[in-house]
Structure 1
């Protein structure tokens, strides 16, 4: 398992709710979290198969900004 971290603009419960279906489908429920208390809104993903580029695409397709932390 590798852990990837990203800065995002996912900053509230509504934002998390909007991105949850896509991240659950790609990364799996329980394999990701967003620290909305962190000023950079850090998304942490634990995965065996996904690349950073795939995660960026999923989050951008959900309408959010994301970059490597």
Structure 2
């Protein structure tokens, strides 16, 4: 399983709630978490099949910004 990390602008509980429906319903995502206390608002996604580019596109389509963390 891959653990992918992204810098995002998901910065509060309301933002987390806004993305949770899409991320929870995606069967290719095993689990996910956003660290809103981190200055980079790190989104961690565990998946066997999604590429980093696919996760970025998914987040962008919800209306947020994601960039793969190095």
The alignment's TM-score, normalised by the length of structure 2, stands at 0.90
Equivalent residue, structure 2, for 1:21: 21
- Tell me how far 1:41 sits from its aligned partner: 0.1
- Number of residue pairs aligned between Structure 1 and Structure 2: 67
- Corresponding position of 1:54: 54
Following superposition, the deviation at residue 22 of structure 1 comes to: 1.1
Structure 1 portions without partners, runs of 5+: none
List, as ranges, runs of 4+ consecutive aligned residues in structure 1 with deviation greater than 6 Å. Answer: none
Q: Distance in 1 between matches of 2:11 and 2:55?
A: 17
SS at match of 1:33: strand
Give unmatched runs, 5+ long, in structure 2: none
Output the aligned Cα RMSD. 0.9
